[in-house]
Amino acid sequence: MDRREVVYVVSDSVGETAEFVVKAVSTQFNGGHVDIRRNSFVQSEEDIDEIINMASENSSIIAYTIVIPSLKEYLDRQAALANIQAIDLLHPLMNAFEEKFHKEANHRSGLMRQLDDDYFRKVEAVEFAVKYDDGQDPRGMLIADVVLIGVSRTSKTPLSMYLAHKGYKVANVPLVPEVSPPDELFKIKKSKCFGLIITPDKLNAIRKERLKSLGLTSKASYASYERILEELDYAEKIMKRVGCPVINVSDKAVEETASVILDILKNERSYK
């Protein structure tokens, strides 16, 4: 390309995909000196007419990602009448998907943006769970979607991460007899707080394995029955004071416990 050319990027959504493809192609021609003009959220024939008029004034190409069939057909027709080359960046691949996988496309704009929003919401939730893990900052409970409380080794952290990947912001707080629970715990809605309990035998076995992995003796007070009973008794008193739902995690995988929590949250919302 000896001179700067114009490519109109047209989309019924944001148009990032089309612009990225055009930039990738333009780098193959004289270092990518192409004037790219993005036209986002094109929703009507009038929008297309305006783009066709602008493109007619230049030596232009139209590259588009329009999934709404009627708009695509109108753009193709008007571009042909104006002798403007219009390149469909989506439909050839969409057609291949339909033929190969025997599925029909939704033909709805903005779906990629929805996927992006879901992704970033999950990333934000994971970052939240890390920041407010193990009672690091009690203020997180006030803005969390879910708050988990329980003694050590009741799967609070793995459960927080699992729920975070579902898009929920989770804070968790350990309950220890020697440490008073934070004031924030009694200010949150009890419907978003969940107490995790476990049988003494199960907790004893888990804590012994934990000590072994750390190279410590299983006779440490952390795994003693007396200590475990003391902690569980204290935790149950706190849970009763909070008035939150209590889930026995003794024989549950993290996924099962998460399912119980999500069902409770769903039922809670349905009653509002």
Ligand-binding annotation for 155, yes or no, is yes
List residues bridging with 148 in a β-sheet. 172, 194
List residues bridging with 196 in a β-sheet. 150, 247
Q: Do domains 5-109 and 119-270 have the same CATH topology?
A: yes
Q: Is the pLDDT of residue 67 over 60?
A: yes
List residues bridging with 171 in a β-sheet. 147
Q: What is the pLDDT of residue 110?
A: 60
Ligand-binding annotation for 207, yes or no, is no
Is 5-109 a domain of CATH 3.30.300.30? no
Ligand-binding annotation for 157, yes or no, is yes
Rounded mean pLDDT, 226-234: 97
Q: What is the pLDDT of residue 2?
A: 43
Task: Mean pLDDT check: name the lowest of 82-86, 99-103, 116-120, 144-148.
Answer: 116-120
Within 176-269, strands assigned E span 193-197, 246-248
Show me where the domains of the chain are located: 5-109, 119-270
Q: What is the pTM of this model?
A: 0.62
What is 119-270's CATH topology?
A: Rossmann fold (3.40.50)
Ligand-binding annotation for 108, yes or no, is no
Ligand-binding annotation for 150, yes or no, is yes
pLDDT, tens digit, for every residue of 192-219? 999 999 999 999 999 999 898 888 877 7
Within the chain, strands assigned E span 5-11, 34-39, 60-65, 85-88, 146-150, 170-174, 193-197, 246-248
Q: Is the pLDDT of residue 118 over 90?
A: no
* Encoded tokens for 29: 């021609």
Which residues, other chains included, contact 154 with Cβ-Cβ below 8 Å and sequence gap of 6+? 196, 197, 198, 203, 249
Ligand-binding annotation for 153, yes or no, is yes
The dihedral region occupied by 83, where left means phi > 0, alpha psi between -120 and 50, and beta the remainder, is: left
Distances (CA, A) of 111 to 30, 103, 106, 168, 219: 34, 16, 9, 21, 56
Q: What is the pLDDT of residue 251?
A: 93
Q: What is the pLDDT of residue 163?
A: 97
Q: Is the pLDDT of residue 114 over 80?
A: no
Rounded mean pLDDT, 90-113: 76
pLDDT, tens digit, for every residue of 122-149? 888 999 999 999 999 999 999 999 999 9
